[in-house]
Amino acid sequence: MKKFFFMWVALAVLFTSCGGDPVKFNDTIIDGLTEVDNKIEALDDLIYESEYEDAQILLDSLQLHVTNCLGVVSALDFKSGETFKEKSLEILRLVDKEFISGYKKAIGAYKLADAIEDEDEMQARYDEIYKEMLPMYEEYNKLDEELIDIQKAFAKKNDMILVDQ
């Protein structure tokens, strides 16, 4: 997921009050979503490596982080940032409702598939799991692209320059 951070704020404190500061508003949202992204990528890696116990621990951490982000982002208030905030919440809700349950199911299914001795049957199970999770990833990517456009509009409206990080 490609996100932007404001050039003049290298290390914004995550989950701080934004008041009238559009930089803090942006960075609070983006820092939270970037952490979600990082955890999802790490989760995929752990599942690929058949590290299911570690994947479950990371999934629990992701769930806690998403719950915290939902609370923090919901409480944010910035006059010109409502669309940005709402799209961020939409992404967080998708992860909370679809990804968490999808990954719980996938971890169990992959464990079972790993126990199958027939290579073709095992691959068929992997393909089935992938097909079940694909729509969730597609929706996530669509929302992410929309968020990037909304973030750019937010930055423009607040006379800020975004840099790719």
Q: What gap in Å lies between CA 3 and CA 151, rounded to an integer?
A: 9
pLDDT reported for residue 124: 87
Q: What rounded mean pLDDT belongs to the chain?
A: 87
126 burial level (CB within 10 Å; 0-12, 13-18, 19+): middle
pLDDT reported for residue 20: 76
Please report which residue ranges of the chain form alpha helices under DSSP H.
22-48, 52-75, 82-94, 100-114, 119-157
pLDDT reported for residue 18: 53
For residue 47, what are its two tokens? Answer: 């599942």
Chain segment 44-73, per-residue pLDDT in tens: 999 999 999 999 999 999 999 999 999 999
Chain segment 14-25, per-residue pLDDT in tens: 334 455 799 999
Pairing of strands 4-6, 162-164: antiparallel
Chain segment 127-145, per-residue pLDDT in tens: 888 899 999 999 999 999 9
Q: Is pLDDT of 10 > 80?
A: no
The domain segmentation of the chain, as residue ranges, is 19-159
